[in-house]
Amino acid sequence: MKYLLLIYSNPENWEHPMFLRNPEFLAMPAAEREALTRQSEDLHREISESGELLVAAALADPLNTRTVRVRDNLPVTTDGPYQEAKEQLAGYLVVDCEDVQRAVEIAARIPDARFAAVEVLPIMGMSGQEM
């Protein structure tokens, strides 16, 4: 089953990987920061080698985002996402896992989950039979 893992973070300093600039991460002792960075690298290597990782991408600064809505058959474009949100979408992974528990396990090991959130969404195939 395929899952979309949406990584959220605070957009104050939009450089990737986001967790490396998080004030909570920076306040950690050096040994803990190094361990968390290693955990991130190990997870990426693990899911790449197992074939579970299908796609991973970091997103550009939300200031470059455009939101499009069509009203009365006319496109209306606004700059940026919903600005009142403290956390915004920073990146995503698409993984192919045995079950949702494994997808959640992977999401929990993404360092950004410790400081913000990682959302796990099942991806429905064309037939919709997976759901």
Give residue 85's pLDDT. Answer: 65
Residue linked to tokens 């600039």: 21
Give residue 125's pLDDT. Answer: 82
> Looking at the 3D structure of the chain, how many domains does it have?
1
CATH of the domain at 71: 3.30.70.1060
Q: Could you give the percent of the chain with pLDDT greater than 90?
A: 65
In the predicted structure, residue 131 carries a pLDDT above the cut 80: no
* Domain-located, residue 130: no
User: What digits encode the pLDDT tens for the residues 42-83?
Assistant: 999 999 999 999 999 999 888 888 889 999 999 999 887 665
Please check whether residue 10 is in contact with residue 116, taking contact to mean a CB–CB distance below 8 angstroms. yes
Which structural domain, as residue segments, surrounds residue 13? Answer: 2-122
* Domain-located, residue 78: yes
Give residue 87's pLDDT. Answer: 78
Give residue 81's pLDDT. Answer: 66
